[in-house]
């Protein structure tokens, strides 16, 4: 697949990585409010990355629930001008590299792993139909054509007891079906409806945590030199898989209940603050 190079800059190459930095995209790296302060702070982080990735041998990437098409659309809309070394899109079910030799190329090993997983639309549809018979209704989200290994739904909240039972049932059936499900509180700031959960079905052995494990193996970087940033419940596994996992200051209340390491500053200001403290 080819991706538009809309005035984007590539990060300097890294040959012997010392650090790997993983960050969620929507509402962590990208502030959808897009105030002037957010734009300025984003540029400061971009300058830091341009000036330090080669010198300090930092691999930097986005790990996001958005599809690659959606990421590039937002980059154009919000005038983001710096591409990371990799983008793990569609909740880590796609891994794509961006450098001079491999611009927009998928990782073949990761792709092969996905294809062997047994994940299919039919498998997910059967699971959703079984849930419906139990009175648990999942509403399909608009599916993006390039997200072949991710099926998104909304579960609309009812009350605490019913919601808890529904979530346990969804997780139980997914596990029995041999697939993974990620369930987290929706964030209206990124266009989600109020009072509902994201229910994301993906192949077993994939997702944000597994992307971290895979990239660290590929780069041979010690986990203590890995850093991650997020803002919602679906980032928690990733934050717990690295040596230093931080919620940015604008994280959801759900996420803050699940993870204690919270940076005071928001968005890219928070990311930059932590990187300056940890990377010497």
**Which entry of 24, 26, 198, 235 is annotated as an active-site residue?**
24
Two tokens at 77?
């809309």
Output phi, psi for 67, to 5 deg: -75, 165
Q: Is the distance from CB of 75 to CB of 6 less than 8 angstroms? A: yes
Q: 129: buried, middle or exposed (CB in 10 Å: 19+, 13-18, 0-12)?
A: exposed
Two tokens at 17?
């990585």
Distance, CA of 248 to CA of 139 (rounded, Å): 30
Q: Which DSSP symbol is given to 140?
A: E
Residue with tokens 């679906």: 234
Q: Are strands 244-247 and 94-97 parallel, antiparallel or unpaired?
A: unpaired
Q: Which DSSP symbol is given to 30?
A: B
- Residue among 63, 49, 83 at smallest CA distance from 232: 63
Taking CA atoms, 37 is separated from 33, 176, 220, in Å, by: 10, 47, 36
163 noted as active-site residue:
no
Catalytic residue numbers read 24
């Amino acid at each position: 697949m080819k991706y538009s190079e809309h005035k984007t800059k590539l990060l300097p190459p890294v040959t012997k990585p010392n650090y790997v930095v993983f960050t969620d995209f929507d509402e962590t790296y990208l502030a959808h409010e897009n105030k002037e302060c957010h734009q300025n702070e984003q540029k400061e982080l971009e300058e830091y990355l341009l000036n330090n990735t080669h010198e300090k041998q930092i691999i930097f990437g986005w790990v996001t629930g958005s599809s690659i098409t959606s990421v590039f659309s937002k980059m154009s809309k919000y005038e983001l001008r710096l591409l990371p070394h990799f983008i793990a899109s569609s909740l880590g079910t796609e891994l794509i590299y961006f450098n001079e030799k491999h611009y927009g190329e998928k990782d073949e090993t990761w792709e092969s792993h996905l294809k062997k997983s047994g994940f299919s639309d039919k498998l997910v549809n059967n699971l959703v139909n079984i849930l419906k018979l139990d009175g648990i209704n999942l509403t399909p989200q608009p599916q993006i054509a390039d997200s072949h290994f991710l099926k998104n739904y909304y579960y609309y909240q009812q009350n605490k007891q019913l919601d808890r039972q529904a979530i346990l049932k969804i997780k139980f059936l997914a596990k029995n079906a041999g697939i993974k499900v990620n369930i987290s509180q929706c964030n209206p700031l990124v266009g989600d409806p109020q009072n509902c959960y994201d229910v994301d079905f993906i192949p077993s052995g994939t997702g944000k945590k597994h992307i971290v494990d895979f990239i660290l193996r590929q780069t041979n970087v010690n986990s203590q030199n890995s850093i991650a940033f997020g803002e919602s419940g679906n980032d928690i596994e990733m934050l717990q898989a690295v040596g230093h996992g931080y919620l940015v200051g604008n994280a959801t209340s759900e996420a803050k209940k699940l993870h204690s390491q919270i940076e005071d500053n928001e968005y890219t200001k928070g990311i930059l603050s932590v990187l300056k403290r940890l990377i010497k």
